[in-house]
A and B are shown apart, each in its own frame.
Chain A
Amino acid sequence: MTMTTLHDRRRFIVKQQTSARGQSVIVWDTFTDANGTLLSAHTPDRSPAGWQTVSGNLTINGNRCTGATGLSVIHIGRADFALSASVRGVSGSASLIARYGDSLNYWKLIAKFSVNAIELWEQTASIWTLRGSASVSINDGADHTLRATFNGQAIRFWVDAVVPLAYSSTSHQSNVRVGVSSDAAANAIDHFKVSSL
């Protein structure tokens, strides 16, 4: 076995990336607003733009994004970033959306409470492909931090302290919108954060 081969294998397990010097927060949203406020009518704590509704009607309740289903995005003007949110639920799923181009082209990092797993999905020209998955115990109704980094072709994703999974792709590299989605009204999303790399 060559060292290169060994190195390639070891790339599967990568160290969790901590905040780097010079990293700046682009979007920060604690979803603090009146109950029943649609995400599209809500102003994030910090963001270059407001939320755009793609589908459904994501809503704020109890200072969290909860009580409805849907998918919403924010234009951040860059395709490389670190993305995180705390998610909680016991069924269905809650997701981070990355490099969103249109409703048929984007990345979706899913916390699948129904099966205790996180999954990285690519949708390109309406074709869905699962690129990676990890089993994690998340359907306990408690907050779990879902994270991803998109840096050129390098994609990493993980939840809590689970070792990140790494994937490489050129798909949607020029798309500059990120977001959240939920397919169960009882699920909750909070502390949505996008940082530069």
Chain B
Amino acid sequence: MNKLAAILTPYSGDGKSQSSGFRPTLSDFYPLHAWRDVTAAPTANLPPDVNALVIEAILDETTLAEIQADPAFIVLWEEDL
């Protein structure tokens, strides 16, 4: 079953190129079917001390369980799709 979840994640990247662009660290480590940035911090505010963002993600429940057990990320809420 797929889940919709809001998850707090640090940023990865330095924004200096597309290949090293700012992105949620979560997406580097877990397979997400789809996600969007809901914090939507203005790009100008990100460097040099980029912090964290909340994404809404569609993912399978096995992946969600792994993320919930990973102290690097915080699942704020979840619901069935």
A38-46, A53-61, A62-70, A164-172 - interface stretch = A164-172
**Is A133 on the interface with B (CB-CB < 8 A)?**
yes
Contact of A125 among B6, B21, B44 (CB under 8 A): B44
Taking CB atoms, residues of chain A closer than 8 Å to B77 are: 9
Q: Tell me how many residues of A have a C-beta within 8 Å of chain B.
A: 27
| Chain B CB within 8 A of A129 CB | yes
Kindly state the separation between the CA atoms of A132 and B36 in the bound complex, as whole angstroms. 4
B44 adjacent to A133 (CB under 8 Å): no
Does B22 lie within 8 Å of A130, measured CB to CB?
A: yes
Q: Could you mark each residue 1-36 of chain B with 1 if its beta carbon is under 8 Å from any beta carbon of chain A, else 0? A: 000101000000101111011111001000111111
List the A residue with the shortest CB-CB distance to B47: A127
CB contact under 8 A between A127 and B36, given known A12-B56, A122-B43, A171-B42: no
A-B pairs, top 7 by smallest CB distance, nearest first, are: A128-B21, A134-B34, A132-B36, A124-B43, A130-B23, A127-B15, A129-B22
Which residues of B are in contact with A by a Cβ distance under 8 Å?
4, 6, 13, 15-18, 20-24, 27, 31-37, 40, 42-44, 46-47, 56, 58, 77, 79
